[in-house]
Amino acid sequence: MLVVLGTLASRRFGQDRLSHYLRDIMIDSPFWEEQRALERKRVEVHERVDTLLTFANARRIPQPPDVEERLSHLGAAALKALVTQAVTDPDTAATELRAILTAPQH
């Protein structure tokens, strides 16, 4: 229970505002480690989406209003592969990205 409350408090006030005792309990908790892993993954996906948006702008690929949502739904592995392809084979990556962004949403 302390870990959950500490997690909520750290999101609201920052981890620096927690007591050393509570921080130590949280750091040793598997729940806290799981939350940190989820946050790292979220940041990783966000950075890859930003990279692909920069690539799309440079290639003048039209972007729908929900572009970030569409790219985020691809998942971390697919985004990583597309970013890698944008560096190694930009023409193919542009074609794939254009197809993703122009595909009708259900």
* Residue pLDDT, tens place only, 65-81: 999 999 999 989 999 99
More confident residue, 34 or 29: 34
Residue 102's pLDDT is 87
* Residues belonging to the chain: 106
Average pLDDT for 50-71:
93
More confident residue, 82 or 15: 82
From CA 82, how far away is CA 14, in angstroms rounded? 34
Query: Above 70 in pLDDT, residue 48?
Result: yes
Residue 87's pLDDT is 94
Closest Cα partner for 79 from 59, 62, 56, 60? 56
